[in-house]
Amino acid sequence: MRGNVIEEWLREKGRKLHFTLIDPDKQKPSDAARIAETCASYGTDAIMVGGSTISRKKSEQTTIAIKDCIDLPIITFPNSANAVNEFSDYIFFMCLMNSRDRRFLIGEQFRGAPLVEKFGVHPIGMGYIIVSTSRKRTTVERIAKLDVIGENEIEKALNYALVAQYFGMHCIYLEAGSGAEKPIPNEMIMTINDKVEIPIIVGGGIRDGKTALDKVEHGADVIVTGTIAEDNIKKVKEIITAIESYEYDSSY
Ligand code: 1GP
């Protein structure tokens, strides 16, 4: 098995990264491909395909359409074993660390692992940590049966991040939820970055360059944006430019 792909990409590019998340449920595959193409032209580093309610068919069709028109890594971001497909290059093989539901901790992974092996998709082990930053619950918060981590519960988030690291996962993803009113707080990112060595992915509610830069300055290694590409795609360029402007002192 290969080493840590996210660390490799950080080293190769010598800067922090941006991933574009495309939800197959939100548009036709051909429109998803257009979004991916535009974000690729802005300099995004990878396309993540995933959502909370996707079916295998939709996931496959969208992945194929994107693969046909761009040359970037495609990473499945699965909500269940149904999202595993043979057309993506990578899959976030993830554990929803702060779920109370066995399904999200090990059950879907048990169903998905033989498919990952069969399709030869490269797994990227990830500790997925959902933080409840906003009054209005996001979709993922509604379905995940959470051991809730409030935006001020930094120690709790850190403990889950340490668990992910000690389990040997390749990265953690601090998730505020798609369309979150507020992104992951800076102090939480900073504290986790101080104590945890694996790359930190941050997403949910990031809609402009200033916020993206803020997260990167506090220790995020990868910024994920999804909704903004549907609402106002030009903002994705602003976000990527801001991430690229950050002076990166690589330790990977
Ligand atoms: C969701 O973190 C991602 O998994 C992206 O969130 O749609 O709010 O950009 P947004």
pLDDT in tens, 177-215: 999 999 999 999 999 999 999 999 999 999 999 999 999
Output the pLDDT for position 192: 98
Residue 128: count other Cβ atoms within 10 Å of its Cβ.
Answer: 24
CA of 202 from ligand 1 middle (Å) equals 9
Q: Is 252 a residue whose pLDDT tops 90?
A: no
Is the pLDDT at 43 greater than 70, yes or no?
A: yes
pLDDT band at 19; cut points 50, 70, 90 = very high
How far, in Å, from the CA of 22 to the mean position of ligand 1?
Answer: 9
Q: Distance between alpha carbon 22 and the CA centroid of its chain, in Å?
A: 11
For the CA of 203, the nearest atom of ligand 1: 2
pLDDT in tens, 97-154: 999 999 999 999 999 999 999 999 999 999 999 999 988 999 899 989 999 999 999 9
**Confidence band for 3, pLDDT divided at 50, 70 and 90:** confident
* Residue 12: pLDDT over 70: yes
Looking at residue 53, what is its pLDDT?
66
CA distance 128 to 93: 10
Instruction: Judge whether 7 and 252 are in contact, CB under 8 Å.
Output: yes
203 lines ligand 1 (CB under 6 A): yes
Q: Band of the pLDDT at 243, cuts 50, 70, 90?
A: very high
Span 62-94, pLDDT tens digits: 999 999 999 999 999 999 999 999 999 999 999
Residue 225 beta carbon below 6 angstroms from any ligand 1 atom: yes
Given a cut of 70, whether residue 47 has pLDDT beyond it is yes
CATH homologous superfamily of 5-245 equals FMN-linked oxidoreductases (3.20.20.390)
pLDDT tens digits for 151-183? 999 999 999 999 999 999 999 999 999 999 999
Query: What pLDDT does 96 receive?
Result: 97
Burial of 178 (0-12, 13-18, 19+ CB in 10 A): buried
Question: Is there an atom of ligand 1 within 6 Å of 20 CB?
Answer: no
Atom in ligand 1 nearest the alpha carbon of residue 207: 9
Residue 245 confidence (pLDDT) above 70? yes
Decide: 224 in ligand 1 pocket, CB within 6 A: yes
pLDDT at 247 over 90: no
- Per-residue pLDDT band for 251 (boundaries 50, 70, 90) equals low
> With helix as H, strand as E and coil as C, how does the chain read?
CCCCHHHHHHHHHCCCEEEEEECCCCCCHHHHHHHHHHHHHHCCCEEEECCCCCCHHHHHHHHHHHHHHCCCCEEECCCCHHHCCCCCCEEEEEEECCECCHHHHHHHHHHHHHHHHHHCCEEEEEEEEECECCCCCCHHHHHCCECCCECCCHHHHHHHHHHHHHCCCCEEEEECCCCCCCCCCHHHHHHHHHHCCCCEEEECCCCCHHHHHHHHHCCCCEEEECHHHHHCCHHHHHHHHHHHHCCCCCCC
Q: Give the model confidence (pLDDT) of 48-69 as tens digits.
A: 999 876 678 888 999 999 999 9
pTM of the shown model: 0.96
Centroid of ligand 1 to alpha carbon of 34 (angstroms):
19
Q: Tell me the mean pLDDT in the region 214-232.
A: 97
